[in-house]
Each structure stands twice: as structure tokens, then as C-alpha cells.
């Protein structure tokens, strides 16, 4: 028998992370299991944006580029993300989107491995990663993309022609978490460079990129930076002096305000910035990082494992006869902070569930996805979500016509 609701409430009372829930804005009556897609807003985000508009922009106008530290935001914010991914100062730059960060890191990796003409990627990874690699290979010419179905297929795919491997640490659809240490070592032994996509890792547990060559990730999922918050790029210090990437914009220039006719890359991580940073989008991100500074990532991981394991147990107990199957790995060591279940009518099931206050999302063709952000999800929420999911299935609420029509964003 899984835990009762009263036992879940007791777990919440004893939870060392429970005090963080109040730091976030969450509408009443909503169980928000989509923090892996768009994190909830920090309560301090609105004031941070107002400060940036009224005091910095309004008070200092263009002088804020110097006086308010706007010009350095990509690097100062990068230094705040670094501890969350096991990186040091001067190794992370923030700006642009994850897709753009992939252009930068893959093109830099190809430049560091001249003569090697193969990029390894997993077509089941988040589509933009793959689309960008296709675009790059096509534009550069002479490159081949080699598919792997997952890390297990890597040994057969690695050869002397492989320049770099791009993989997600956590699979966005299944929540499966890969062994980055072993995979990075394997890739590097073959002479190739390893690029990790950390979109579904950062903020879910302590990441360690120190062995990787490059990494990218977004800040609007578990990091709560807000919709469209800028992404980050990590470059291992051993590559920083040599690495050159495709997007040679003026902010990556050694002397942006010398307005020289030709491009010269800045030293260090700054060359991985491209152009004018979206200053207003840094405000909520930094408000969120003010919270993350005080978070014990070991406690985050322990709670994440407990929440996801409990959800699996409860759903399997309450929903057993209704056609759900577990898509995520059962072993918590092999899971990120999300649980995915399959159902042949997954889309209307999720829509009916959302109508009853439990927000998850749907990924084609048949996956119901539930993300557990340990800073604001409670054990009681997990219990309530499982009960409501069972009700939607048992009473077949999802058969209602209005749940069948696809919305633009699922």
C-alpha cells in the first residue's frame, strides 16, 4: 500500500525544502506538474522587472549599460548558474536560446576537430537539438549526421571520423537520465568532443559538467527564469582559448566598442556571447537565482526521488486497470525529476486532468508528462494528482468531445 494522504501531509511538514514554496506564485487550486517545461514565477520576479524598468532603464537610461552592469549580465549571471552545473567562474555565459547555444557549441566543436566530419546525435532527443544539427551540417557542407538511438548505441557509432556527440542528459519525453560520466569518458576516448544538453537536468539535481567539453541548457524550466529566459552555454576552460564558433557577433569581440572592421574573439567565455543581451529577461532570472543560492541541491534530489517514486506507486495503485503504462525508468537513479505515463488517449486524458486542476503536459504520440519541481511541489499534491488522474480514467471524463481538439501548445 502506498502512503495515505495524511502520511503525505506529515512528509510535507518534515520537508526541509517546504519553506521555498512561499517564494513562488502559484494559483490556488492548481497542482502544477509542468515546472519541467515552464517553472513557476518567483514572487520577487515582478519587483525585479519593475526595478530594471523604473530605476535602471528609467533612472539611468543608456548609462545603465555601465552603471547597472547590463553589459556584463551574460557573464555575471553565468557565474551564478555555474555552481548548479559543477562549473567554475568564467566558464558559463548566458544569453540567446538553447537552440542558438547549440549552434555555438557544435560549430565550436567542429572547429576543434578539423578533419573529422561526423556529428553524432539522437533523433529521439528534443527536436530542436536535432533540427539545429541538420541546419548546421547542411550549411557547412561535407558533414554527416550519425544517429544513435541512445547512449547504449554509442560504442558502435564512435569512430575516428566523429567530431562531436550532442546528447540530452535527461530525455524530455521519458525522463530517463543518462550516465554522463561514463558517456563523456567513452566519447573523449574516441577523440571526439562531448556536448551535453542540460535543459531537463539543471535545477533538478546537482549536475557535474566538469569533464564535458561543452554544455547548453535553458533557464525557464526548473530554474524558473520566466518564459523565454536566456539560455546558458558552458565551455570547458581547456577549450576557451582555441574555440571559435559561427556566430561572431559584436559582443563576442575582443573590443566591442572599438568598432574595428574585422572580428577578433574576446578572451575566455565572453567570446560565446553574441549580441545585445535581453536585459529585461535577466531580471526575473536573477530573482530566481537569488533563491537558488540558498538551495541545497542534495535535498532537491532526495525530494525529487521521493516525489517521483511516490507518484509512480500511487498511480499504479489507483489507476491500475485503466490502460496506463509507465514510460519512465522505474529505477530512480536512472530518472530525472519527471514521470511519464503512456495512454492510448493521452491527449484528452491530460486535457480532462488539467480541467480538474492538475497541470501536466502531453508529448506526441501518447505520453502524459508530469514534472516535479521540488522547491514548490508537495507530497500532498502528488497524492491529490494521483487521485484526480484515477477519477478522470475511471469515470472516463476524457471522452468529452471538448478534450479531443488539439491546442497549439500541448
Asked whether residue 379 is marked as a ligand-binding residue, the answer is no
Cα–Cα dist 353/393, whole Å: 9
Give me the residue label for grid cell 525544502.
Answer: 17
Asked whether residue 174 is marked as a ligand-binding residue, the answer is no
Active site annotation includes 369? yes
Q: Which is nearer to ligand PLP, 199 or 207 (CB)?
A: 199
Q: Which is nearer to ligand PLP, 126 or 143 (CB)?
A: 126
Q: Choose among 292, 304, 305, 299: nearest CA to 16.
A: 299
Strands (E), 57-213: 92-94, 118-121, 144-147, 162-168, 193-197
Q: Which is nearer to ligand PLP, 131 or 263 (CB)?
A: 131
Residue of 15, 171, 197, 384 marked active site:
197
Asked whether residue 197 is marked as a ligand-binding residue, the answer is yes
Asked whether residue 325 is marked as a ligand-binding residue, the answer is no
Tell the smallest beta-carbon distance from residue 168 to ligand PLP (Å). Answer: 5
Q: How distant is the alpha carbon of residue 306 from its chain centre?
A: 20
Cα–Cα dist 279/32, whole Å: 28
Asked whether residue 129 is marked as a ligand-binding residue, the answer is yes
Tell the smallest beta-carbon distance from residue 43 to ligand PLP (Å). Answer: 24
Tell the smallest beta-carbon distance from residue 239 to ligand PLP (Å). Answer: 21
Active site annotation includes 126? yes
Asked whether residue 156 is marked as a ligand-binding residue, the answer is no
Asked whether residue 127 is marked as a ligand-binding residue, the answer is yes
Asked whether residue 410 is marked as a ligand-binding residue, the answer is no
List beta partners, residue 167: 196
Cell output for 56: 535602471
At residue 253, the 3 state secondary structure works out as strand
Tell the smallest beta-carbon distance from residue 11 to ligand PLP (Å). Answer: 29
Active site annotation includes 221? yes
Tell the smallest beta-carbon distance from residue 170 to ligand PLP (Å). Answer: 8
List of residues contacting ligand PLP (CB under 6 A): 97-99, 126, 128-129, 168, 172, 197, 199-200, 218, 231
Cα–Cα dist 244/271, whole Å: 8
Residue of 220, 232, 311, 403 marked active site:
220
Does a cis peptide bond (omega within 30 degrees of 0) precede residue 365? yes
Q: Which is nearer to ligand PLP, 197 or 213 (CB)?
A: 197
Cell output for 125: 532527443
Give me the residue label for grid cell 509512480.
Answer: 312
Asked whether residue 200 is marked as a ligand-binding residue, the answer is yes
Q: Choose among 310, 227, 246, 280: nearest CA to 104.
A: 246
* Residue 216, phi then psi, degrees to nearest 5: -135, 160
Tell the smallest beta-carbon distance from residue 180 to ligand PLP (Å). Answer: 14
* Residue 51, phi then psi, degrees to nearest 5: -65, -45
Kindly tell me the burial class for residue 271, based on how many C-beta atoms sit within 10 Å of its own C-beta (0-12, 13-18, 19 or more). buried
27 close to 19: Cβ distance less than 8 angstroms: no
Cα–Cα dist 319/313, whole Å: 10
Cα–Cα dist 65/59, whole Å: 12
Cα–Cα dist 263/253, whole Å: 6
Tell the smallest beta-carbon distance from residue 109 to ligand PLP (Å). Answer: 17
Cα–Cα dist 1/330, whole Å: 17
Cα–Cα dist 214/166, whole Å: 9
Report strand pairing: 193-197 vs 162-168: parallel
Q: Which is nearer to ligand PLP, 102 or 390 (CB)?
A: 102
Q: Which residues are catalytic?
A: 126, 197, 220-221, 369
Residues belonging to the binding site are: 98-99, 126-129, 197, 200, 220, 250, 276
Specify binding-site residues for pyridoxal 5'-phosphate.
98-99, 126-129, 197, 200, 220, 250, 276
Amino acid at each position: 500500500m502506498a502512503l495515505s494522504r495524511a502520511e503525505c501531509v506529515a512528509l510535507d511538514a518534515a520537508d526541509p525544502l517546504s519553506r521555498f514554496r512561499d517564494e513562488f506564485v502559484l494559483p490556488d487550486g492548481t497542482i502544477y506538474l509542468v515546472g519541467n517545461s515552464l517553472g513557476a514565477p518567483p514572487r520577487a520576479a515582478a519587483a525585479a522587472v519593475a526595478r530594471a524598468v523604473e530605476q535602471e532603464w528609467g533612472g539611468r537610461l543608456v548609462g545603465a549599460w555601465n552603471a547597472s552592469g547590463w553589459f556584463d549580465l551574460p557573464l555575471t549571471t553565468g557565474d551564478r548558474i555555474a555552481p548548479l552545473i559543477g562549473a567554475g567562474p568564467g566558464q558559463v555565459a548566458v544569453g540567446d536560446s538553447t537552440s542558438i547555444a547549440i549552434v555555438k557549441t557544435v560549430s565550436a566543436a567542429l572547429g576543434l576537430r578539423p578533419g573529422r566530419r561526423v556529428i553524432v546525435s539522437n533523433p529521439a532527443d528534443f527536436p530542436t537539438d536535432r533540427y539545429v544539427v541538420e541546419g548546421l551540417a547542411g550549411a557547412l557542407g561535407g558533414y554527416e549526421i550519425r544517429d544513435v538511438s541512445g547512449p547504449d548505441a554509442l560504442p558502435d557509432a564512435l569512430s575516428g571520423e566523429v567530431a562531436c556527440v550532442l546528447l540530452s542528459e535527461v530525455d524530455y519525453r521519458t525522463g530517463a537520465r543518462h550516465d554522463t560520466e561514463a558517456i563523456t569518458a567513452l566519447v573523449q576516448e574516441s577523440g571526439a568532443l562531448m556536448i551535453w544538453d542540460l535543459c531537463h537536468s539543471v535545477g533538478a539535481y546537482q549536475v557535474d559538467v566538469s569533464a564535458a567539453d561543452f554544455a547548453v541548457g535553458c533557464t525557464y524550466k526548473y530554474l524558473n527564469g520566466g518564459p523565454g529566459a536566456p539560455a546558458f552555454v558552458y565551455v570547458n576552460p581547456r577549450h576557451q582559448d582555441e574555440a571559435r564558433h559561427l556566430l561572431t557577433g559584436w559582443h563576442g569581440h575582443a573590443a566591442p566598442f572599438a568598432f574595428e572592421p574585422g572580428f577578433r574573439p574576446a578572451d575566455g567565455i565572453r567570446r560565446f556571447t553574441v549580441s545585445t543581451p535581453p536585459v529585461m529577461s535577466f531580471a526575473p532570472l536573477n530573482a530566481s537565482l537569488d533563491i537558488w543560492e540558498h538551495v541545497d541541491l542534495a535535498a532537491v534530489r532526495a525530494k525529487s526521488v521521493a516525489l517521483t517514486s511516490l507518484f509512480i506507486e500511487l498511480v499504479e495503485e489507483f489507476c491500475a486497470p485503466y490502460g496506463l503504462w509507465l514510460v519512465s525508468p522505474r529505477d530512480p537513479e536512472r530518472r530525472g525529476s519527471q514521470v511519464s505515463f503512456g495512454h492510448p488517449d493521452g491527449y484528452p486524458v491530460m486535457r480532462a486532468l488539467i480541467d480538474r486542476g492538475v497541470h501536466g503536459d502531453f508529448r506526441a504520440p501518447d505520453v502524459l508528462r508530469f514534472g516535479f519541481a521540488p522547491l514548490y511541489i508537495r507530497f500532498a499534491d502528488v497524492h491529490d494528482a494521483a487521485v484526480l488522474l484515477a477519477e478522470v480514467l475511471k469515470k472516463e471524463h476524457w471522452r468529452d468531445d471538448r478534450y479531443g481538439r488539439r491546442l497549439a501548445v500541448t
